Amino acid sequence: MDWFYELWPKLGEAFRGWLESALPDSIEGWVIYLVLGLLSMLVIVNLPIVGVMAMIYMERRLLGRFQNRLGPNRVGPFGILQPVADAIKIMTKEDIVPNGVDRIVFNIAPIVMLTPILLMFAVIPYGGDTFLTNLNVGILFIVAITAVDTIAIFMAGWSSNNKYALFGAMRAVAQLVSYEIPLLIAILGVVVITGTMNLNEIVAHQSSLPLILFQPLGFVIFFVAISAELNRSPFDLLEADSEIIAGFHTEYSGMKFGMFQLAEFAALMGYSAVIATLYLSGWEGPGLPGYLWLFVKVFFIFGIFVWTRATLPRLRIDQVMALAWKFLLPLSFLNVAITAVEVVVWENGLPEWLIPVNIVIGAGLVAIMHRGLNFQGQTRQVVPSGPERLAAINRPVGGGTE
Amino acid sequence: MVKTNGDAKLTLKTEEVMVNIGPQHPSTHGVFRMRVTFDGEVVTELEPIFGYLHRGSEKLAEERTYTQVITLTDRLDYLASMSNNLAYVLAAEKLAGIQPPERAMYIRVIMAELMRIASHCMGLGFFINDLGALATPLMYMFREREKILDLFELVCGARITFSYMRIGGVSGDLPEEFMPALVKFINEMPGYIDEYEALLRENEILISRTKDIAILTAEKAINASVTGPMLRASGVPWDLRKSDPYEVYDRFDFDIPVGSTGDTYDRFLVRLEEMRESVLIVKQAMEQIPSGPFRALAPALIHPPVGEAYAHVEAPKGELGFYLVSDNSIAPYRCKIRAPSFINLTVLRDLIIGWKLADLVVIFGSFDINMGEVDR
């Protein structure tokens, strides 16, 4: 069973042994290192691509169930080959470049969009010894590299020579830049507790209790901010289909469009893994090996994203901005301040009785700030239908029910 | 020190953007087109452009016999064909002086109210869809509409273009299976409406997106002759079923839901409540429906005496009126349709200007228009 728990390091070791024996002795050590490195990169790059196919299937099936319909179930057993069919379709589709676009920027934008997302998977720990690089500023690297996506979205929107795309790009810049701030400051809470930005060490710190228990408020802020960063409902303004058709990728077709979709879902997967790593103790878990635990958590978080998407209507751009600046940003500062005080007071690790206290503090702060946001305005009953009226309407009528 | 000119200011050159929303756009409910000028995200000018679905129904009616015109009315508001049928046959009966039997009138009322539920289901569902709720409420509302269409299929075999009503009655009596099926549906429906309400009414995002948005005052609504749920949301209790009862509506006990401010949220709630009232009307009609003939004895080709008649009904979208002129031939000399969707659009520009792009689609969705009726 050992190989099952240590699958990827063992595979790497086995391959290195095979390479060393198969290649002549005159080959220097760095060549083997290079080959191994390239191979690991291949695995890491293909991981999000395969994962995205699973996520697309999962999203479509789950949405189908949420919406009282079946979802794709024709291609393969239970429709599991549907993402394959989608991929084939999108790759063989005609790649249309409309007149009047800025060709260079138009063609580069999907690449700029996808590349940082793939880089993100390099630093995520999939198990005790399973990671590509052990970067000491891992979480900072992830946030910094994915921020490049804002530029890619603006490039796509601006170069498309389409007004809807331009609207999407304008919204993207405003929204994504705004939400990056509460996102980073929410992460600071975790960094203050663990004292490191290294994702491996952050996971190691959570081997007994996941950090969500000590950082409930930080988790909520992070989750909301990341929904906005990933253009998920209710913040999917960049590609609000009922308003601006498809937003920044309105004019894209074929594989370029596919790359935008791929980047979007891969970012979702990557950030779900980041949420799992920061707050839900990453790959740690009983029974299953680390890499499987991580994906269980990733798909659980993804399920929550699908759920919100199926349920909530969309916010307006000014409400989205107000939420970022008036609600999340002060809350995230308060979160960091409270966390810092706690860390200073209990130097040798936070006591467990802080968990309920933190949850109460977080809920209280959210309630207070929510009142300040004044989202709802005054409540009033517009069309009253009293209990007698409802009773009259709901009264069953007789005759031949069976 | 650099000498600066006091008047010189850093000015960014800004420009208004003109966007064609429609005729092919996900939330223009068909082939409606708006030429909108935006200042950033804010709408500064809006010009509605109609006619992409014009089929000349009024002119075609002059070349058809009175019975054949019923099939044209199906295609006006294709989400509420029964109401269109009803309005037309009422006008034709008035013109020819034919009195339909009691049972026919009850059947028509049941059909019209079921149609109202189905139409409001679609109106609300697409309205929520415009808000960005990714079709989930819409799909649930489709579920109920499907059941209503099954009921209609039982009585007339068609699911969209019914042509069920005839001058002097309906085309066929209710089949045996119909009443049990209707009882089952009408007992379930209030539960479904509660379900929509639980999901939507207190939804904070929905409230913040609709409350106090695009207020239509009662005065402006009356001046623009807006009718239907839009008028009632503005606080005017004007419903033709009460204010000018046709068929047997005066025998039922039901309320007219009215809004208080006339904002988008009120328009949403009025439709939700109207579905409840429709359920109530159908329940009473089911209990009161007499037996007897379902159709008056009228010739297949009627030659109404020279004259004119106007009949209107409270269709799901508002006051639907048919004005018929007869020259004693087998076809109407003139057929004018007062389409509520079209006339409600009068206030579109006034309501939308000053709101944002995201509000535009929501406000437009709250009108619940149907292009088949707007362009006729």
pLDDT value, residue A177 = 87
Distance CA B349, CA B367 (A): 12
Residue B161 included in any domain: yes
pLDDT of residue B1: 46
Q: CA B223, CA B344: separation in Å to the nearest integer?
A: 11
Which residue of A382, A394, A402 to mutate against B (max B Cβ within 10 Å)? A382
Calculate what percentage of chain A has a pLDDT beyond 90. 1
- Report residue A118 as tokens: 């793939």
pLDDT digits (tens, 9 = 90+) for B27-40: 777 788 888 888 87
Mean per-residue pLDDT, A306-330: 85
pLDDT of residue A373: 66
Q: Is the pLDDT of residue A259 over 70?
A: yes
Both tokens of B166, joined, read 């005839």
* DSSP element (H, E) containing B178: helix B178-200
pLDDT of residue B323: 92
The more confidently predicted of residues B304 and A350 is B304
R_g (Cα) of chain A, nearest Å = 24
The whole-angstrom separation of Cα A27 and Cα A25 is 5
Contact B185, B147 (CB under 8 A): yes
- Secondary structure of B17-61 in the HEC alphabet? EEEEECCCCCCCCCCCEEEEEEECCEEEEEEEECCCCCCCHHHHH
Instruction: Convert B309-338 into a string of H (helix), E (strand) and C (coil).
Output: EEEEEEECCEEEEEEEEECCCCCCCEEEEE
According to the model, what pLDDT value does residue A372 have? 65
Q: pLDDT-derived band of residue A379, with 50, 70 and 90 as boundaries? A: very low
Share of chain A above pLDDT 70, in %: 93
**Each residue's pLDDT tens digit, B155-182:** 988 888 888 888 888 888 888 888 888 8
The secondary structure of residue B295, as a DSSP letter, is B
Mean pLDDT for A170-188 is 88
The pLDDT value given to residue A294: 85
d(CA A232, CA A240) in angstroms, rounded, equals: 10
On whether residue B191 sits in a domain, the answer given is yes
Considering the domain boundaries, does residue B257 fall inside one? yes
B203:A312 CB<8 A: yes
> From the centroid of its chain, how far is CA B131?
19
Contact B132 A234 (CB under 8 A): yes
B347 is a domain residue? yes
The predicted structure's pLDDT at residue A400: 44
Phi and psi of A84, rounded to 5°? -65, -45
Look at residues B49, B91, B165, B163 and name the one whose alpha carbon lies nearest to residue B336.
Answer: B91
pLDDT tens for each residue of A111-168 = 998 889 888 888 888 877 777 788 888 888 988 888 888 888 888 888 888 888 888 8
- By the CB < 8 Å criterion, does A316 face chain B? yes
Closest CA to A122 of A43, A190, A32, A49: A43
In-domain check, residue B3: no
Tens digit of each residue's pLDDT (9 = 90 or more) over B205-220? 888 888 878 888 888 8
The structure tokens listed for B311 are 């009949």
CA distances from B263 to B58, B225, B230, B367 (A): 34, 17, 9, 11
Q: Where do the DSSP E strands lie in chain B?
A: 17-21, 33-39, 42-49, 165-166, 169-170, 307-315, 318-326, 334-338
pLDDT score at B299: 81
The answer as to whether B4 is a domain residue is no
Of B26, B133, B257, the CB nearest to A245: B26
Residue A371 sits at the chain B interface (C-beta within 8 Å)? no
CA distance A225 to chain B (A): 17
Amino acid letter, B201? R
Residue of B nearest to A240 (CA): B132
> Does residue A382 surpass a pLDDT of 80?
no
Q: Which two tokens stand for residue A280?
A: 């839900």
- Tell me which chain B residue has its CA closest to the CA of residue A65: B136
What global pTM score does this model have?
0.83
Mean pLDDT of chain A: 83
Q: CA of A236: which chain B residue's CA is closest? A: B132
What single DSSP character describes residue B214? S
The pLDDT value recorded for residue A377 is 44
The whole-number average pLDDT for the span A216-229 is 89
- Selected for mutation to probe chain B from A65, A173, A393 (highest B CB count within 10 Å) is A393
Per the CB < 8 A criterion, the answer to whether B224 and B347 are in contact is yes
| Residue B344 to residues B88, B152, B320, B348, Cα–Cα distance (Å) | 20, 28, 11, 8
| Residue B179: closest CA among B289, B330, B77 | B289
The pLDDT of A165-192, averaged and rounded, is 88
pLDDT at A214: 83
The C-alpha R_g of chain B, in whole angstroms, comes to 23
Contact call for B205 and A312, based on CB within 8 A = yes
Quote the domain boundaries for residue B62: 10-375
Q: How many domains does chain B have?
A: 1
Q: Decide if pLDDT at B375 tops 60.
A: yes
Q: Nearest-CA distance from B25 to chain A in Å?
A: 7
| pLDDT of A45 strictly over 80 | yes
**Do β-strands B334-338 and B33-39 pair in parallel, antiparallel, or remain unpaired?**
unpaired
Q: Which residues pair with B356 in a beta bridge?
A: B42
- Name the amino acid, one letter, at A378: Q
B246: CATH = 1.10.645.10
When CB atoms are compared, the residue of B19, B261, B359 closest to A316 is B359
pLDDT of residue B10: 61
pLDDT tens digits, one per residue of B235-270: 888 888 888 888 888 888 888 888 888 888 888 888
Q: Which of residues 245-264 of A touch B (CB under 8 A)?
A: 245
Task: Respond yes or no on whether the N-terminal peptide bond of residue A216 is cis (omega within 30° of 0).
Answer: no
